Each structure stands twice: as C-alpha cells, then as structure tokens.
Structure 1
C-alpha cells in the first residue's frame, strides 16, 4: 500500500499536497522533460511554472476539510483567519436571509468578496443581505465536487472585475478521477441531538479521447433549538445579574387605567374548563402586569435550520485532437431548509396591528366597568400548526454550468466558453392577517371616549389553537426570487518574446455578461394585509463587458514584475459607465529559499443589483426623536410650547427621558422604506500587500504578509437614525434650515398630527403618538470609507521519525488598522479598539497530523481573539478569547476501505459568558455559536 494514501484521509479528496508527493517530484526531476508544465493559480490568468505569485494565496484541499472535521464549504471557509467579520447567521430569524450563509473577509461585507467556481461567477442569493446588497450563499455549493478552495485576501479587480475588493474565493472542482467511491457519514452532537447524515458517490473514467467525472451527494441535518443546549434552554440561563427571569406573557390582554395591566388570565388561563398544554398562570410585579398567562419561550428559539439537499456535479472533456478539446462542467443543487417562524403574534397593537378598543367588562382602577385595551398578544408556537414544529420553509435550487473549447494554437493556450448560473428561491411562513383582527374582536358595540367597543371571545383567545382556528386567523405568506448571469468569455495566454532573464508571458481576456435579479414578496405583505410584515421588491437586469491584459515580465533571473489592467463597462440605468483598474506587483528571489513579494492594485465594485433596482424595501424601526423630545423639555420648563397643542404634547411626552440635560430622549416607533437609486456611482478603492515566503528547509517554511485595503464611496443606506439627527441639526440651526439638504431631509419624515393621526404609504389612516414620526424614507448613497490593514503570518512543515510522520500548519491574522467614516463630511475615525467594533482583531488556527502506515490522527485548533461584551457603549469590556478543537482519527482497512471518526469542538466550548446580555441567545450570534461538540463517523469504499 502507498503509505501516503492515508494522509489524504479521503479518497474523495483526490488531491495530493506538495509534501505528500515529494518523492514523486524527485523522481520526475531525474527525467529529461521535453516541455515545462505550466499551471494556473488563483490571482492570475497566466499559466506559469512557479506556485508563488505577488499575493498570498491560502488553499484548503478537500483532504484538509475531512482532516479538520468539516462537512461543508461554509465550515471550511469560516475557519480561514481572514474571516473575522461579524455575520447574521441562522439565529437571526428576523433577517431577510435566515436560510443563507455568508462570508465576511477582513471585516468587510459579504458583497466585497468574489465567490467563483473554476473561475466563473455564481448567481447571487435573490434576497439582499440585510435588505440592502447582494451576496453568494455558500450553503448552496456541493461539498462532494470540491477538490480545493483557493482564497486570495486583498483586491483583485484588475484580474476578476467587480466585487473583488476584500478578496477572491475560487472553488476548484474535481477532475481526472480514475476510480469510483462511495462515502457515507452519520453524526450526532454530545446531547443526542442534531443528527447529520450524508451519502456521496464520486467517480470518473477515461475512454479514448473522452473524460468524464461525476459526484452525486445527499445531505440531511436535523434542526437544533435553543432548548437543545443547556446554555439557553430556560429563562433562568439569562446571565445578566439584573435580568427579569419571568415566564413569558405568552397570552396577553393588555389594558390601561386598571389596577393591573394584564386581564382575563384568572378566568381563562389553563383552567379546568379551558386547558392549555403549556401555559401556566403566574404573577408579574414588574410594570404592573399582574396575573399573567404564558410559558417559558426561551427553549423555543431556533439555533440551526433543518436542511436536506441533493446535488449533482458533472465534468467532461472530449479531445478533438492533440491541440483542441471540448469541455462541459456544472452542478445542480436542490435544498430544502426548515426553521422556526418563532413567536407568531396575533393581536392588535396600535403601532402594527390596528387601533386600541374599549372593553366594557374590565374592572377599571376606579372600581367601575370599562377600560381601554391597548393590545392583545398571543404567542403561537410552531408546533401548534405544523407537525414537525418548524413553521418556515426555504426551497432553493441552483444550476451552474460552463461549456466551451480550449487548446493550443502554436505556443499559446486559449479558451472560449459560455457559462450560466441560475438561482431560484422560495420562502414560506404563516402570518397573522388583518382580517383576523376583525374576526378576533367580533361585533362592534358603539364607541366610548373615541374608541370602538368590542367584546372578543377571550375563552378562544386563551385556548390552544386547532388547525380550524389558525386557518381563520392566519395565512401562508410567500417570497419568490430569482437571480442569474449569462457570461461569454475568451482568453489567450502564452509567451510573447524572450528577454535575457526569460520569456515575457501574457494573458488577454474578454468578457460579456448579462445578469438579473428578482425578489417578489406576497402582494399582501406589501399591501399590509399581513400584520406587522414588510418586505423587499427588486427586479432588474443589466449587461456588463470587460477586457483585460496581464503580463509577467522577468526583469532578472531573480526579479519578476506582474502587471495587469482591466476595463469594465456597465450598460444599465446607472451612471457608472466604465471603470478601469490596474495591478502592479513583483516577486524577488534573492536565494532559492526566499521569495519577497508585493503588489498594489486599484479596485472597484459596481452598485449591487438590489441598490439600483430595488423597488421597495420596508422595515420597522425605532429611534430618538430629538425634536419632539426637546419640545417635551420645553413643555416641562414653560408649561407650553409654541406650535404644539399642549394636551396632545403632554400625552406624547409621558415616555420622555429628561435625565440627561444635554440630550432629551423620546423613543419613536416608525416604518421605514427605501428604494434603489440609479444615480449611484461605483465604489472605488486600492489594495496594497507586501510580504515574503522563506523555505528554511524542505520540511519547514514561513510566510508573513502585510495588507492594506481602502474602499471609498461605499454604498450605504441613509438610515432613519441619521435622518432624524440631521433634521434635529436643521431645527437647531446647526445646519442651514433653508439648505437643500434640510429640505430633502424634511421630505423624508412623515409625522403624526396633533390628533395622533397620519397617512401611511398606502394612503391608510394610522394612529400614534402626536408629533412623532410614523414613516421615514431611507435611501442609498455613496458616502462612507473604510481602511483595513494587518498582517497574515504562518508556517508549515513536516517531521519524519520512527514513530511516524508529523505534519503541521499554523496561520494567524492580526488586524493593525481599521478606520472608517460614515458620511463623506465626517472625520476618519479609528475603529480598531472602538467599542463599536464587533469584528475580531486577531484570529488563528493550527493543525497537526500524525500518520504511520494506515493510521492517522489530526488535531485542528481554532482561535478567535477577545471581543467586546454587550454593555452600554463606554462601559464595555473585553470577553476572553474563544478556543475550539477538532480531532479526527483515520484508519484504512485494506486498500479500499477507510474509516474516519471526527469530534468537532472536542471540549464542547461554548461562547464566553457575557453577563451583560439580557436576550437570547445570551451572546453575539454573529461572532459565536453554541452548537458545541459533534461526533461524525465516516466510511469510504473504493470500487
């Protein structure tokens, strides 16, 4: 048996590292070669003989993934030291993208990292990240087809065009497989939950001039809920010392002008005549709630979606003759995810659910009958209306393929191809309808004090829901989306002419792309027929063209210069037009063991499809209305305020906070809306890298690289808080109230009148606190700037002994610079140690593999540095660093069967305890996870 075989851990990997193939390489060097083999590397389109280029490339092979205990591409990329940015994640079920997984390199947004498969772009996730920008969903990349993943961190627009500002991830697929393999795995966590299973068939063959490779994959992952982890399965797990550990008010009738605010719990909460499987009656002193009805909802939250996926990968090539061949490759994946809808509220809340009403049967604080009901609140658990307790379903399908011809013409290599990527998306969940409000309240019995009088069926309200009941009160809301790109490319590369130090190599490349996107919510969402829901509408299409040149110039035998220039043109409704970028770099080899390298490049990113073609993006927000808050301060001091009705203002000011003499605070709730802007410019920037690689010996090498990335004219949403603050500055005379800025800002804010009435975007009359904003129109602007810099360092090597071979690898990232400005007129702020910076400033990993004959053991250590806790700004302290370890055992049985047992998160490390967190999951879900220890048993058989 080949002793190196076990180091791969998986025949599915089909990738041999340089260290593993050292003996084969030595043998080849003893032979006389007629032609030097050239290879392609990520960060350049020039075929070359040297692996090291002007920028640092990190590589994760499929064998590395198995050794590290990773079962998908996202897990592997999340382990990269450059992936230090805070993400949304699956816990954030209220986001627009809870069914997707994103990557943030260098703390920049996912939109700044270009994701490729074999150098080709993928289709974007149809729903925008945070409702604002496009990105690639890494959960829709089949694992079985991956041969290796190359990660270039830094700008690469001169090579790859738009989006390549923080880095490029190029996923290289398997090719030239000469056997067939079946691989199966099963896993479970340390708590007996979260089962994982997968089945894969991978293989290939060559017959005459035809080559064919395939990968079939099935994967299933069970869901995880907060109740599956001791860290957050109960309200008593709340770490905050001042937390109110009350059972939730899951079923509430909230009244005013009464002794206690919660009503009807004594009569109907889980009584003998009206039993409920979970609700219990309990008393809450806080805020005068009184007798309440509910259960501990902490254990009901989502931790990880259920996922089931099928995928197919095919690669084929037909050799027409010795110089030319036809090729076709691609993949298809169909994935269904199911998650928690989480708290589904049915009731009538003045801000979201309609208006308050008068209940003539409630005992008021004066002992009489009749009081206003401010809202009715009914938590509906997913298991009440679904058999599996998962009330939200995401169905995603993605197809990507590439066809063309490639070969040699004389001394030149060429390729001409067409590729298409398509992504279809559907999101389905149950939601309360406005019609249900009317059914719940029943017949109106006149008015009292301007409020309609109702006698709802409270017995039904406190009862467990049946399918017949909830179908009357709610309906299924849907989202559909699609994104695509069609791309024609042609390139040629080779040697132009000879210099004394060697040939000048070049690459010429042209590209024509048509891309489009569509996100279409249920019309009832936009029309407010669903309670408390809003959505995103996006639809558009554009053409893009590009031409690029790249040169590799050997100035001396030790000194090479690489230069690239690219021009991208956008044919759409924006004002971008054309965008040129360039890159200039060098490699210097003063000795055979040392390589010095550096590169400077300009970068750009065209406005995302969503920021240009977004027809509407809605949300609900809250912020400090300083204008009305200042009026409240004047009211308290003077008894009246010019321009305000005293009684109306007095009622609004009941919740004002005047404890800070420098800033009065009045929290206002409002609806926000934003639309795309075709006047947006492209984002521009530059990237500088410098470093070295030193090969101390054949078994040990070091690398250190410095990077500095600047992005200017960043597209951002002009958010409601900024709009309110600008309006306050206009009102105070800090800004010229007659300026166009102040006039435009005033047009963005709609307020309730003195009677607490307003008109929403649909023309409906709405009610709220007099003088406060009810609607704010946001928008996209080119404004902000970021500067990020730091170092990447690492070493790797091997050691042979009588006890076996040891291989090790260490990688570390330290952020040295992080600056930003939000608006163009703002100063550049140092955010590196700012308490607002929730990106990790240092990350690292270390892997160690021991192998002897047919047995191997691998250990991976993952490190994330200290992070701010959740205390108020100015009072935050750093949490401890977070360490996790993955352990993998590999054993071959004969030549064809291999068993692997992996333990992920060996020590069951939970996020650092943060006593400043009051809400689930009691830690920052964008920085940590509480998945904990998982076991996976895998078997592979070659046939």
Structure 2
C-alpha cells in the first residue's frame, strides 16, 4: 500500500521506539553510533506513518496497545541464528517443548515447528508479508494442523515481527496464541552474494548456504524487481557422533542395559525371558560393529543385545533445499501500482529412526505362539543391524520428506484520486505438496521369511494359539543383505494443502479529526477456498477386518476435503485526545463445509494512554478462535483395541461409577474406531493483555506486559471411558454430566444381544479447556561510547504464571507448571524463558554476545513418579536448574562492499548431559529432547559481498 503522506511530530517515546525498531538490537557500527548521536531526548523529527503487525491502519507510533517484537535481518545474522525456525524456537515466547528432527520417529520428524507460551504450534498464525502461509499436509503429533517454517529463506528475510496474544479480530482463525509475520526483502541494490559454511566441533552437521539477490529497475523508475535464490545443504548428525547419544545411558540411576536385539519372551511365566541360543550370541557377535553380546536384565533373563544401538539413528535431519523469491512493482500512474510476489521452496529432508524402529516379532501377527517342546507361550523379537542391511547400513535406508511449496500473490494498490482513501486488491494462492518416502518392512514378505527360516510350518493350534517348533539356531543368526532386501522397500505417502484467497482492503488513515489526531479506518473483505488431501500408500491402510496393513508395524489414515471461506474485517482507530487512543476491531469469519456453515464473530478493544511522553500504558481485550481444521473434520476412520470399565453392564449387577471393584466388566476389551468429526465447533478464547512502556530517553525503553487466555471447546479425541460413562447416564435415565450428548452416546456405543460391547466410536470432540497467564518483559538500551564505539543491549523474558488444562468436563484442572507428570505429558513446559544480547560496535567491527536461557524444568524422576519428593538409588526427583547457551559473533566490514563474519554458536559447548543421572540405564535419549539438544558447539564462516556499489 502507498505510504501515507500524513506526518506527525513524534514524541520522546516514539523517537526511542523508532530507534529500537531501526536498530532492533544490533546494527552495524556506523548506523548504531549515528542513531544514538542524532536522536537526543529533545529532538523532534518527522516520521512517516507505517503499517505494523497488529494494525491495518498506518500510524506513526511504533508501539501501540499490543506489543510487537521485531527481529531484524541484522539480529538474525549477529545472533548466529541459522534459520527462521531457529529464530522462533529460541524466542522467549517458546516455553513449550517441540517435536521435530531431534525426536526420532515423531509424526512430523522432517518438519520444523514453533509455538508460543506452551500452546500447540497450530495456535499461532504464521504470515509471509501479511499473507497466511500454507499449512503442512502431515499432522503434528498425528492429529493437529500446523505450519512447517523450514522452507523460508532466512537470508532473504528483512525482519520477523512477533505479535503475542489473541489476534483473531484482525487475522481470523488460528491466531489464539499470537501472530508471526515474516517480512521478506523488497529492495536489493544490485547483485549481492552471501556464502556461509558451518561445522560442529563434535562432528556431523556440516552445512553450506549460498544466497544471491539482485535488484532491477527501469530507467523511468516505474518498474522495480527484487529477486533472490538461497541454496542450502546440510549433513545429518548421527547418534554415534555424540557421547550422550551413541549408547544407552551410562550415567543413569540404574546400570546401563543393552538393547534386546534377539529376545524370546515367555508369556506363560510373566513375560520373563527364554534364552535358547546354543552359541550364546557368538554367531551374532559381529552385529552392530561387533558390539552384540550376551546380555541380561535383572529378574527377567538373558538375551543377545548391544549397548551401541542408539547411535544408529539421526538426532538432526540432513537437508537439501532451494528457495526462490521475487517481488515486483509497476507504477501505472501516480495513484495505481501493480505488484506481485512469489516464494517457492524445494526441500528434501533425510533422517533415520534406527534399529529401535527396524525390527520384527511374532507378536504383531500371532500374539503368542505355543512351543510344544518348551510347553510355553512364546514371542520372538529380532532387531536388524547395519550388517543385515549391508552397504552403508542405516544410511542406506533413510527416510526422505520431499517438500514442494509456493505462495504467489498478484494485485494492485493505490489511492482514490486526491482523497485519503487507499485501496489494495490482490489474490494469493498457496500450495504445499509433501511426499513422505518411508522405509518399510512388508508384512506378508517379512512374516513369510521368518516362517520359512525360523518358525517352520504351523503344527496346529493350542488353546487358540498357533503351534510352532522354531529353529532357534537360525533365529540367533545374521542374515544376508539380499535376504533383508527381499522383505523391505519404500512406500510413498502423498499429501497436499491449498489455499486460494481474494482480498480487498480499503484504508483511510485521516478519516476525520479528533482532539488527539486523525481517526483511521480500515475495512477488509476476503474470500477463498481451502483444501487438504492425505493419501497414504495403499499398503499402509488398515484392513477393515484384521486392522492390519500391508506394511509391518505401520499403519496410516487417509483423509481429504475442502471448504469455502469468507471474512469481513474492520478496524477503527480513535485518538480521542492527545494522551488517549482507542482502537476497535471486529471480524466475521464463515466456513462452508459440505453445505454446513461454521461461523464465528470476534472483536477486540485496545487502549493506549500516555500520561507523559515517556510512558505508555496499554491494554487490550478481545476474543479469538480456531476453526475446526480440515483434518479435524475429514480425517478418515481407523480402528484400535482397548479396555475400559463397562459402566452400564456393571450397573445391571448393582455397581455404580466410582465403585466397580469386583464387577466382572470392570476391564472389558472392545474394538474401537476413531475419525474426524464434521460436527465440531470452533475453539473459542477470551484474551486480554495490559502493560506499560517506559522510554525516558531515545536510547532506552522498557516494556512489561501481562497476557491472559481462557480457551474453551478445544478439540480432542473423545475418551472411551467418558463415552461409556455418558452412555451409562443416558441408559439409566440419570442426568448426563459427561461430555457426549445422549443421542451421540447411544449411537457411538454399539452393543450385542447380551448387552456386550461390539464397537465404540470415539471421534474428535470439543471437550478441553485451558487457562493461561503470562508475563513478558523487554528491555532495549543503546550507549554511545564516543571514540570507543557503542554498546547495544536487548533482553526479553517470559514467565508463565499460570497454565492449567481441564482435559474433560468434570475433571479437575491439571497444573502444567507445577504437576511434574503433566508438564512432560503436555509437551514439556519450561515456566520461564529469556534471551539477551550485547553488541559492541567500533569502526568496522561489530561483536555480539547472545544468551538464551531455558528456565527450570522437572527432571525425569519427577515425571515418572509424578512427585517432587521421590528418590531412588541416590537420585532425587526435582527440577533441573536453568539452562543457558551462549553465541558469539564477529563481523568485520573489510570494505564498503565486503563483510566477513565468524559465528560460534553454543560457544561453551553446553550439553544436557547432567540430566542423565535421573534417567535409567535403559534410556537412549537421557535428556528432554523437546527442549534441549546435544548438538554442541557449531562454527560458521560467512562472506557477504555486494557487487559494483
């Protein structure tokens, strides 16, 4: 949109905040000193109105009723951030744990996510230049829609604006926790080339990134184009490249224990072990690089295992990525400008899950089998080694996520004649295509192989169990790579999301005069279509009768659907008098899903009060929501088995809920099915914040803000226990206080002729509630040292004061900040998080030290015991001390065109190894991987060169 011509004199507060915005935290030496020297407390300089995230109306105040954290391109480079995901995952707002490349075999191991205040990543709205990003087609934690922020070219980012708090009244669905707006560069003065190479001192993870950008313009200045390409390649980090992850925990409160690679369990004797290897593991001693040996577990028995199997998985993904970006404008006349933006990404992510997820056992097909010679029910379990695989071992069977995405916007903007009305009309189209190329063991082939080579022919049935007389010597034997290849291969799951939007905005920043200035109005009308399709390889889908798939040990669920959506947004800014400004915004969203309309109005009221020019008091109250995602609605049907109390049948025998001990149906097995639910309602939230900004001088600002959320009707899988309880109330004619209505409860519990449960259906439902309160603090200070240069300090701090979850109606709230078990169960919360940077600029040199601090978290013993007082083998449940890492960067402007940089991240080589003592010796990852990683120190050399300027 054209910049407003309205100019206002800025106060000391706005001057200081403008300096913070321009510097963000760290600028180059000349810019920092010049800004500090020229912006004195008494200086009054004209400032053009600009549009900031959190408002649709251009304004001269860079701080308003809701805080915005700005991370500039200079910040990203100086602090050592390697990607946009790195910026957001180290933000002080990121107090919750995350799944990703560091968590082997997670649902979305190939993606990178971030959230805010411990809320799920899907509760944050992600924008590229103010336009929503394409959703990732696969589901976070197997159930939730989110954004993969891996494909944004970090070298082409101008700044990242982080807006905490509910923002649905401006940005619609998903903006409950806040909004992240990634602003890409719009100008490039000639050709620039950036080259960065990196390595880790512990090994692995070598990387190279090359970025080229160019700017073009016509002779008359009417046409301008900025374009760039970024290529990045990165090696994975393997578990064996770190002492903490190369083997099972050596520092645990129990003895180190080997993996159970060749194991026979005895179902007739409380699942103790049977050891039947006549060679006592000698035949397999060469497996896992010669580490396979006779092992045992106390009270269970012997088996063949290795201490080193954790090292055969990746703990950081490998990646090859290419992103391209272009921004073009053409001035038709003084009042009309055409524009276009294109961001495209092509990214392959590689990872290996290791031998823990590459094995075979009889339990998957038979449960147990009966051995007539041992007169016992037995199970066989056999892991595959790198020698079985052949070649490069697990490096030859890595999984690959192939990501292809693009976002294209075409539009026009301008002004209606000589009026104060600006307009902007554009269409945006996004696509995200994902192919998950997964290593697989094919069920029929692998079972046939072990029947042929180990189990032998079935000899009948004993008490319902198949009878086999296995060749145990063959079981305890290596296999050839050709044998391994005979039952393994790859399957491809293809998925896609799409979003096409037509948007029109009309803005008047000088609608009418008020005592405090000009009123402003913005109106936005938009409509579009969204789609989601998830199509697994047919061999991954469950058979409706056997509930087994054609891939051994794996299943998947398909789903597909689309919806039309439209919205109307309005924002009115009213400077009622000089100290006081009130901003009102409202939005109406509607989604048409299969002829059914889901709609939700939201609103907010923001207040800015400046009793003196150096103090801003601000506050906001509003509503926010999240519409049911397409996966929530269209996720396909899948089956499972479970067991619960059958409250209705127990009631027929005189038992009541809460007192079913002795009931024959207290632990009834059932067949269940689950799926998405087209009847879901939007998640709703009331959100408010209040705070103060203090800026007594142009080089200093301090802000303190409090945020509060009341989130209702969260979507969760319906609990089988809650459904059976609801059905009991309905069948017995009592008041139903459970979560499902009687019509649904009676339909979702299917019973046979003797009242036995034949099927439970547990779809996604609106059941959960969260309460959250958080305090944030931000401090910025620039000190001019005259001939010694300048110092720039910035710090951010978040403290989650309250966070409770009520999983189901009638449940007691769970305290996610003080209940150690819940803190882990709900993504490993840290109560506090902080970051700080100090930059010293002198001449052509800039040196920056950056610290990131994770507050105390419960240790593993506290989690497993659900107690702060538990102790065993000399180790105590409790909290880990705060965890701080340091980055250090050196930038030298060798010429006006050449900058050379050395960046050292985690300069002290901090590792979470101290956590290992409260984990047992059976653990392969003796630290909380949702919050910490064992990557260690990394070093990067970078060159930035601007040609011919």
Alignment match of 1:873 (pick from 866, 870, 879): 866
Pick closer, same or farther for the CA change 1:291–1:42 going to 2, 3 Å.
closer
SS state at 1:604 partner: strand
Where in structure 2 are the equivalents of 1:794-873 lying within 5 Å?
794-801=778-785, 802-828=787-813, 830-835=815-820, 836-837=822-823, 838-871=828-861, 872-873=865-866
The question of 1:92 aligning with 2:109 is answered no
Q: Is the 8 A contact 2:366 2:466 kept in 1?
A: no
Aligned to 2:917: 915
Say whether 1:929 aligns with 2:929: no
Distance 1:383 1:599, change over 3 A: farther
State yes or no: 1:473 paired with 2:487: yes
Change (3 A) 1:460 1:428: farther
In structure 2, how many angstroms separate the alpha carbons of the residues matched to 1:873 and 1:275? 39
1:374 aligns with 2:365: no
User: 1:379 deviation in Å?
Assistant: 3.4
The two structures have a TM-score, normalised by structure 2, of 0.85
Q: How does 1:499-898 map to 2 (within 5 A)?
A: 499-527=514-542, 528-573=549-594, 577-616=598-637, 673-720=673-720, 777-801=761-785, 802-828=787-813, 830-835=815-820, 836-837=822-823, 838-871=828-861, 872-875=865-868, 876-898=877-899
Find out whether 1:422 has 2:431 as its counterpart. yes
Partner in structure 1 of residue 406 of structure 2: 399
Q: Distance in 2 between matches of 1:70 and 1:923?
A: 23
Equivalent position of 2:51 in the other structure? 40
2:190 maps to 179
In structure 2, the residue corresponding to 1:111 is in which secondary structure?
Answer: helix
The 5 A counterparts of 1:186-265 are 186-207=197-218, 208-237=221-250, 239-242=251-254, 244-255=255-266, 261-265=273-277
Matched, 1:489 2:503: yes
CA separation of 1:584/1:90 partners in 2, compared to 1, >3 Å: closer, same or farther?
same
Unmatched runs of 5 consecutive residues or more in structure 2? 1-20, 543-548, 656-660, 869-876
CA displacement, residues 425-473 of structure 1 (integer Å, 9 cap, x when unaligned):
1112222222121331135253263543445565554444444212322
Quick one: structure 1 residues 680 and 14, their matched pair in 2 at CA, closer, same or farther if it must change by over 3 Å?
A: farther
Q: Once the 2 structures are TM-superposed, how far is the Cα of residue 382 of structure 1 from its aligned partner?
A: 9.6
Q: Is the 8 A contact 1:536 1:618 kept in 2?
A: no
Mapped partners of 1:869, 1:916: distance in 2: 7
What does the per-residue CA deviation read over 1:816-864, in whole Å, with 9 as the maximum and x for residues that have no partner?
Answer: 2223322233355554423223322111111100010111110011111
SS at match of 1:266: coil
Deviations 1:627-654 (A, max 9, x none): 99999xx9xxxxx98869xxxxxxxxxx
What corresponds to 2:161 in structure 1? 150
Aligned-partner Cα distance in 1 for 2:532–2:421: 37
Q: CA deviation at 1:702?
A: 1.0
Q: Report which stretch shifted further, 739-748 or 883-892.
A: 739-748
Give secondary structure in 2 for the equivalent of 1:446: coil
Q: Secondary structure at the match of 1:536?
A: coil
Residues 89, 925 of structure 1: 8 Å contact kept: no
Q: Distance in 1 between matches of 2:729 and 2:385?
A: 44
Distance 1:445 1:106 in 2: 56
Query: Separation in 1 of the partners of 2:377 and 2:511?
Result: 85
Instruction: Compute the displacement of 1:522 (Å).
Output: 1.6
Query: For 1:316, which of 328, 335, 357 is the aligned residue?
Result: 328
Query: Paired residue for 2:65, among 54, 58, 70?
Result: 54
Indicate conservation of the 8 Å contact 1:249/1:295, yes or no.
Answer: no
| SS of match in other structure, 2:384 | strand
| Greater relative contact order, per chain length (Cα 8 Å cut-off, separation 6+) | 2
CA contact (8 A) 1:441 1:455 kept: no
Is this contact kept in 2: 1:840–1:866, CA < 8 A?
yes
Aligned with 1:105 (options 116, 127, 136): 116
Specify whether residues 13 and 199 from structure 1 end up closer, same or farther in structure 2 by C-alpha distance, changes over 3 A only: farther
Q: Measured at CA, do residues 327 and 774 of structure 1 come closer, stay the same or move farther in structure 2, by a change above 3 Å?
A: same
1:440 and 2:450 correspond? yes
Give how far 1:881 is off: 0.8
Distance 1:101 1:784, change over 3 A: same
| 1:88-141 Cα distance to aligned partner (Å, 9 max, x none) | 232333332111111120111111100000110111110111121211011122
Q: CA deviation at 1:560?
A: 1.1
CA gap of 1:69–1:749, structure 2 versus 1, over 3 A, is farther
Indicate conservation of the 8 Å contact 1:855/1:892, yes or no: yes
Alignment-derived partner of residue 3 in structure 2: none
CA distance in 1, matches of 2:61, 2:351: 48
TM-superposed CA distance for 1:25, in Å, is 7.6
1:255–1:375 Cα contact (<8 Å) kept: no
Question: Contact 1:13 / 1:62 at 8 angstroms: preserved in 2?
Answer: no
Match of 1:759 in 2: none
Q: Deviations over 1:687-706 (max 9, x none)?
A: 11111211121221111111
Once the two structures are TM-superposed, the CA of residue 607 in structure 1 deviates from its matched residue by 0.6
CA shift, 1:19, in A, is 7.8
Contact 1:696 1:702 (8 Å CA) reproduced: no
CA distance in 2, matches of 1:599, 1:278: 64
Cα offset for 1:524?
A: 1.5
Query: 1:848 touches 1:858 (CA, 8 Å); kept in 2?
Result: yes
TM-score, normalised to structure 1, is 0.85
Greater Cα offset, 836-845 or 293-302? 293-302
What's the CA shift for 1:381? Answer: 4.7
User: Is the partner of 1:155 in helix, strand or coil?
Assistant: coil
- Return 5+ residue gaps in structure 1 as ranges: 1-6, 365-369, 635-639, 645-663, 755-770
1:512 aligns to what SS in structure 2?
strand
Deviates more, 1:587-596 or 1:311-320: 587-596
> 1:6-21 counterparts in 2 under 5 A?
21=35
Q: For the structure 1 residues 176 and 64, does the alpha-carbon distance in structure 2 shift closer, same or farther, using more than 3 Å as the test?
A: same
How many residues are paired up?
878
Change in Cα spacing, 1:630 to 1:267, as seen in structure 2 (3 Å) is farther
Distance change (3 Å), C-alpha of 1:541 and 1:787:
same
**Is the CA contact (8 Å cut-off) linking 1:344 and 1:381 kept in structure 2?**
no
Q: Quick check: 1:229–1:930 contact (8 Å CA) kept in 2?
A: yes
The aligned residue for residue 658 of structure 2 is none
Residue of structure 2 in register with 1:3 after alignment = none
Would the aligned equivalents of 2:248 and 2:307 in 1 still touch at CA under 8 Å?
no
Distance 1:205 1:89, change over 3 A: same
* Structure-1 separation of matches of 2:386 and 2:649: 38
Aligned to 2:545: none
1:147-176, Cα deviation, whole Å (9 max, x unpaired): 000000001111111111110000111012
Structure 2 Cα separation of the partners of residues 430 and 203 of structure 1: 41
Contact 1:116 1:169 in 2 (8 A): yes
Q: Does 1:292 align with 2:304?
A: yes
Deviates more, 1:477-486 or 1:12-21: 12-21
Shift of 1:82: 1.3
Report SS of the residue matched to 1:862. Answer: strand
SS of corresponding position for 1:885: strand
Q: Cα distance 1:570–1:630, how it changes in 2: closer, same or farther (>3 A)?
A: closer
Once the two structures are TM-superposed, the CA of residue 274 in structure 1 deviates from its matched residue by 9.0
- Compute the displacement of 1:75 (Å): 0.6
Give the match for residue 902 of structure 1: 903
Shift of 1:926: 1.2
